[in-house]
Amino acid sequence: MNRYFIILVLVILCISGILLAEDFKEGIKLSEGKNVLNISTEFNPLYVEDLVRIYPDITTITYNDSEKEFGYVNVFGGIGDNFVIYPNKTYEITTRKEVILNLR
């Protein structure tokens, strides 16, 4: 009886782990307005200008490296610093509407 219970618990944990992993495949959900987010997902670094080109509903992106603040505004083809977005850094991203970032 104990053996069947342990097997049942392991099967349930495996299924819930697979379902949870599937939720993260959808991407990072940004709500309308200001979002402060640490992008801990591994991805190839990309320039802010390229990210805004892919997701045009992003209006601003800022990053503070404790020495200097970088900012990019998505108007008139882009105004500001075209800095590189790296994994494991914190960014402030403002959007016009809900956006799902898929950086993989």
Report the pLDDT value the prediction gives residue 10, as an integer from 0 to 100.
64
Look up residue 25 and give its two tokens: 């495949």
What contacts 17, CB < 8 A, 6 or more positions away?
none
Q: Assess whether pLDDT exceeds 80 at residue 18.
A: no
- What pLDDT sits at residue 21? 43
Instruction: Report pLDDT for 23.
Output: 45
And the tokens for 72?
């990019």
Sign of the Cα pseudo-torsion (56, 58, 64, 65, in order): negative
- Segment 76-104 shows an average pLDDT of 90
The residue extents of the domains of the chain are 27-101
Q: What share of the chain is helix, strand, coil (3-state, %, to 5)?
A: 30, 35, 35
What's the predicted TM-score (pTM) here?
0.71
The rounded distance, in Å, linking the Cα atoms of 86 and 29 is 18
- Is pLDDT at 24 greater than 60 in this prediction? no
**Average per-residue pLDDT for the chain:** 82
In this prediction, residues 78-93 reach a mean pLDDT of 91
